[in-house]
Amino acid sequence: MRGEEAIMTSRRDFLSNALSVAVVTASPWPIGAGQARSMNGQSDSSSSKSERTSNEISLKWDVFLAPSIAVITSDLPPGQKQRPWPPISSTLISGERDAVLVDAPITLEQARSLANWIATSGKNLTMIYATHGHGDHFFGATTVLERFPSARFVARPEAIKIMRQQASPESLATYWNPRFPGQISSQLAIAEELTGNVIKLEGQDLVSVPLGFTDTAGTTCLHVPSIGLIVAGDAAYNGVHLHLSESPDQQRRLEWIAALDKMESLKPRAVIAGHKRVGKVDSPKILGETRRYILDFERLAMQTTTARELYDQMLQLYLDWGNPGALWTSARAVKPRFDQGEQT
């Protein structure tokens, strides 16, 4: 881990009591033998600051990590007395004046804390981009937009389709509100369609990359070539069990692996997962770790008979990963015919 930290970034992890959130601040550096590292998270450039033209604007990124919160549910994994929701990442990509936010968490409290954090940056929030349509990555956008009404909320059309399903009265009544009673905005904003695939931030490109099916349909990542950054949404996980319950068949899991290959082909120097454990480095290595998890799940799904067997054997391989509840749901989706006695 120390070697990984040396390769990736200068970073500080701390818990903010005032905001009741975990905040991770990071600045990307170019990687290469003998290269100097920018302490300000500047874009790659071989010229000195005095030689830069007005078009060479430096970008940096910071991560807001909403903490794990309690979920009201009786669907508990074996041996567990509670099932907390994992931490959720929101990424602020900023230039000298303006900034773009990628993803917003679930609850009103989380979103207000996120908005306060953005305000302290002093940047002008111009846009919110949703990587995919799961509610835990866009429900909070409504609250952020109330604080920054001039910002636009955008996503690709395939992600908007899932958003509408997640924000439907049926989905809210049967899934989200029972788990987070009184904590979700009653007026959920749905993103407008992103025109093209590029968001401009002070003259630099933030590229929306379609990934297809990962942990749900219509997912994307946001690639910032100038700083070697990928904001992966739920296409990559970092020290947290994957949500594979929407991928009960092998073909879906192969599509997810293809998405990981696509992100790796962009040769990022930093990758931010939609869910990560506090203190985990935003390393491109998480793409390989996510792939290995899917392959291990695939192998053990073929070797085991029951959901409990699959769950137990995956836990042994990933002892220190958070959110075992997601693993339990995934195991049951692959092996729906399980004995109720397995849960105890």
pLDDT above 90 for 125: yes
What is the per-residue pLDDT across 317-343, written as a single tens digit (0 to 9) for each?
999 999 999 999 999 999 986 544 444
Is position 48 within any domain?
Answer: no
Is position 194 within any domain?
Answer: yes
Is position 44 within any domain?
Answer: no
Give the lowest-confidence range in 6-10, 24-28, 197-201, 295-299: 6-10
DSSP state of 158: H
What is the per-residue pLDDT across 258-310, written as a single tens digit (0 to 9) for each?
999 999 999 999 999 999 999 999 999 999 999 999 999 999 999 999 999 99
**Which range of residues forms the domain containing residue 223?**
2-30+59-343
Sign of CA dihedral 234, 238, 242, 243: negative
What is the per-residue pLDDT across 299-311, written as a single tens digit (0 to 9) for each?
999 999 999 999 9
Is position 283 within any domain?
Answer: yes
Is position 45 within any domain?
Answer: no
Average pLDDT over residues 14-33: 37
Structural domain count, the chain = 1
Is position 47 within any domain?
Answer: no
Spatial contact of 131 and 221, defined as CB atoms under 8 Å apart: yes
What is the predicted pLDDT for the residue at 113? Answer: 98
What's the predicted TM-score (pTM) here? 0.85
Longest distance between any two alpha carbons in the chain, whole Å: 70
Could you give phi then psi for residue 179, rounded to 5 degrees? -80, -30
Alpha helices, DSSP H, located in 61-176:
108-121, 141-147, 157-166, 169-171
Higher local confidence (pLDDT), 302 or 28: 302
**Can you tell me the distance from the alpha carbon of 297 to that of 39, in angstroms, rounded to the nearest whole number?**
39
Average pLDDT over residues 237-263: 97
Is position 40 within any domain?
Answer: no
Question: Residue 260's domain is classified under what CATH number?
Answer: 3.60.15.10
Is position 53 within any domain?
Answer: no
pLDDT above 80 for 41: no
